[in-house]
Structure 1
Amino acid sequence: MASPILTSIENHVQIITLNRPEKKNAFNREMITAWVQALQDAQHNDQVHVIVVTGAGSAFCSGGDVDGMRPIQTPLDNKNKLWEHIHRVPLTLKAIDKPVIAAINGPAVGAGLDMALMCDMRTMVSDSKVSEGYVKVGLVPGDGGAFFLPQIIGEAKALELLWTGKFITSEEALQLGLVNHVYPQEQFMEQTMKLAAQIAEGPQIAIRMTKRAVRYARTMELEPALDLMSSHYAIIKETEDHKEGVAAFKEKRQPVFKGN
């Protein structure tokens, strides 16, 4: 049986591929477990600077595998299933301070789209569509979509997509700010990896602390946010990468950051 998750490292970029193409990468328990493990491994691997999540075949992720779902007996069983399995993905991603890019290489529906929303940035192939979709089967996003989507595109637009379940094109997703970049099929992974490599070449301590600052600022008042950022700034000022950046600027050359 093929592994539900494939991993590889290229130029300090960890590629995590959802590998159930025959199911349009619909996730089951085994995939979730392997996915979480791959994310944790990438976080703790010093050779990994950036994480890219994509799908095998023609789809990114079609959501949960309905055929593989076990019978649920009670509402509590439903809740526990989400908490013990599906919710491990957003909670794991929340704990990762490295940049995470979702490379939406094909359709992403329901929880499949939400898995992309949990990442820091998103690229999307030009000839594809995405949808929240839950309302079409009388459900609400149980995995965090109602939390992430409004933060990315605003409450009013998020509610429209959640209430209608309509598909939107890559260009519409770009206009909404749902994705950062749209690339044609023949250049999609090449351009996505180029973006990831550009970030991976940067000063890693500064990049990771910047992500922490942005995340924490969502729930902080201005004064404590400024206090936190000044602490980050003071620490970063003493890094070798900062010294290299200043030297490169003065010498009018490209900096060579080493992550220290």
Structure 2
Amino acid sequence: MVKYTDIGVETRGHIGIIELQKPPLNFFDAVLIQQIANALDEFDANVDIRASVLCAQGKAFCAGADFKDPNRQETVASEAAKQGDPADNLGSISHLYIEAVRIYRANKPVVAAVHGAAIGGGLGLAVSADFRVTCPEARFVANFTKLGFHPGFGLTVALPELIGKNNAELMFYTSRRVTGEEAYRMGLANVLVPQDQVRAEALKLANEIAECSPLGLISTRATMRAELADRIHKATEHELKEQTWLRSTEDFREGVKATAERRTATFRGC
């Protein structure tokens, strides 16, 4: 099995487990997403694995991008950082979205154990799974517009498909925090349990799936998710185009600064 730096990977019977290991907040970047995609490829190549669980250490499931990453040293800063781009530490967003599409192209069912915040790209990661097990303490947040940004990770396709167009618009346009209970009611989460039972319940669901025929599972999932990865690919191309021009705006810098300072942003439309 491949060695990973940001995730832990193990197998239990017919279940593969991917654990995000960047506590406490499991910030989102291209390296993390690539490693998850690689692990899912491993599971696809292993005939004994029939389903997987995506879970996380720490306080959050995945708190999105770390726009105030303390490791951004001025002496080695990229040109984007020197120009004041708060998104430079994400790595190449185009590369990140290539890895996102790889996650959607995985062949076997994935259950996400969302025990804490799933924000921005972290929400995209949670939504990429087939099912989500969560708890009242969890928060699902599409905070892009509050940052002066555009949704990404294929969320403009995947989120409306789960919760309906108008609910997705509500999350996008307000950047509001959706609680675990609200997520369960709107169909964003499939199972709601106490926080200390989230991972166990996700494993239980994955094991229930794994009791079924492996070939039947792959065949049925391919039908149910037909062309989804292609639609995600097309969506990320558009999302990237919008994010590219928005990340150069004063509003984006103000949105990131205001979020870091826990205040309401003063946007000027430029």
TM range, smaller chain: 0.7 to 0.9
**Pairwise CA distance, 1:72:** 5.5
Within 2, Cα distance between the matches of 1:88 and 1:48? Answer: 24
Q: Which runs of 5+ in 1 are unaligned?
A: 220-260
Is 2:112 the counterpart of 1:99? Answer: no
Match for 2:93: what amino acid? Answer: L
Match for 2:198: what amino acid? Answer: F
Query: What is residue 48 of structure 2 aligned with on the other side?
Result: 47
Q: Report Cα offsets for 1:75-127 as digits up to 9, x if no partner.
A: 9x98x92221x213321122212101111111111110111111111111232
How high is the sequence identity, in percent, across the aligned residues? 29
Mapping of residues 76-115 of structure 1, within 5 Å: 81-84=92-95, 86-115=96-125
Query: What is residue 124 of structure 1 aligned with on the other side?
Result: 134
Mapping of residues 1-260 of structure 1, within 5 Å: 3-22=5-24, 24-66=25-67, 67=69, 71=78, 73=80, 81-84=92-95, 86-216=96-226
**Pairwise CA distance, 1:218:** 6.9
Contact 1:53 1:100 in 2 (8 A): yes
Q: Which runs of 5+ in 2 are unaligned?
A: 230-270
Within 1, Cα distance between the matches of 2:102 and 2:227? Answer: 19
Q: Secondary structure at the match of 1:179?
A: coil
**Pairwise CA distance, 1:217:** 7.3
Contact 1:123 1:182 in 2 (8 A): yes
| Length-normalised TM-score, structure 1 | 0.76
Q: Which has the higher contact order (CA 8 A, sep 6+)?
A: 2
Match for 2:18: what amino acid? Answer: I
Contact 1:36 1:88 in 2 (8 A): no
Q: Secondary structure at the match of 1:91?
A: helix
Specify whether residues 56 and 109 from structure 1 end up closer, same or farther in structure 2 by C-alpha distance, changes over 3 A only. Answer: same
Specify whether residues 210 and 145 from structure 1 end up closer, same or farther in structure 2 by C-alpha distance, changes over 3 A only. Answer: same
Q: Secondary structure at the match of 1:146?
A: helix
Query: What is residue 268 of structure 2 aligned with on the other side?
Result: none
Q: Secondary structure at the match of 2:153?
A: coil
Q: Secondary structure at the match of 2:26?
A: coil
Q: Report Cα offsets for 1:219-238 as digits up to 9, x if no partner.
A: 9xxxxxxxxxxxxxxxxxxx
**Pairwise CA distance, 1:65:** 2.7
Match for 1:156: what amino acid? Answer: N
Contact 1:101 1:119 in 2 (8 A): yes
Q: Secondary structure at the match of 1:97?
A: coil
